[in-house]
């Protein structure tokens, strides 16, 4: 990222994850590359936390031109694992949070695209 020309450097990166030390480490790399960033701590398997995080993002952030959804977990045991809230863990972590992020941030992404006269994009890896 250090080598990217200014015109294609991201204006700001919003990091979302559950492990603050990892977010800080990633943030240090972005800082070294002179890319503005902010991070939000969020356990992506927990819808009630996701709803709060999405609300905060919509309140605080003004632009989202690209949303990358790639958090996940790979549980290969035969028995399905259910969380305390009753959701099956792989469903919650690998799929439900992605639908919630798309639903929660598509308004802001649409506004960004209109204001900047470009496209807003969503990239999913699951």
Ligand X SMILES: NC(=O)c1ccc[n+]([C@@H]2O[C@H](COP(=O)([O-])OP(=O)(O)OC[C@H]3O[C@@H](n4cnc5c(N)ncnc54)[C@H](OP(=O)(O)O)[C@@H]3O)[C@@H](O)[C@H]2O)c1
Which residues contribute to the site for ligand X (CB under 6 A)?
17-19, 22, 43-45, 70-74, 93-94, 125-126
Q: Are 88 and 82 contacting, i.e. CB atoms less than 8 angstroms apart? A: yes
Toward ligand X, which CB reaches closer, 57 or 112?
57
The residue sitting closest to ligand X, measured at its beta carbon, is 72
Toward ligand X, which CB reaches closer, 43 or 63?
43
Q: CB of 76: closest distance to ligand X in angstroms?
A: 11
Q: Are 53 and 16 contacting, i.e. CB atoms less than 8 angstroms apart? A: yes
Q: CB of 70: closest distance to ligand X in angstroms?
A: 5
- Give the span between the Cα atoms of 38 and 36, in whole angstroms: 7
Q: Are 65 and 109 contacting, i.e. CB atoms less than 8 angstroms apart? A: yes
Tokens of 25: 């480490």
* Residue 71 φ then ψ, to 5°: -70, 150
Toward ligand X, which CB reaches closer, 17 or 27?
17
Instruction: Residue 106: name the closest of 70, 46, 60, 66 by CA.
Output: 66
Q: CB of 55: closest distance to ligand X in angstroms?
A: 17
Q: CB of 41: closest distance to ligand X in angstroms?
A: 9
Toward ligand X, which CB reaches closer, 62 or 126?
126
């Amino acid at each position: 990222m250090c080598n990217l020309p200014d015109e294609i450097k991201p204006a700001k990166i919003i990091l979302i994850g559950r492990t603050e030390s990892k977010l800080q480490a990633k943030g240090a790399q972005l800082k070294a590359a002179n890319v503005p960033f902010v991070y939000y701590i969020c356990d992506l398997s927990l819808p009630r936390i996701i709803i709060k995080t999405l609300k905060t993002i919509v309140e605080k952030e003004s632009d989202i031109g690209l949303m990358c959804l790639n958090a996940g977990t790979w549980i290969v045991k035969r028995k399905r694992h259910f969380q305390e809230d009753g959701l099956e863990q792989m469903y919650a972590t690998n799929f439900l949070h992605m639908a919630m992020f798309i639903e929660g941030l598509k308004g802001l992404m649409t506004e960004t695209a209109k204001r900047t006269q470009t496209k807003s994009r969503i990239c999913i890896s699951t």
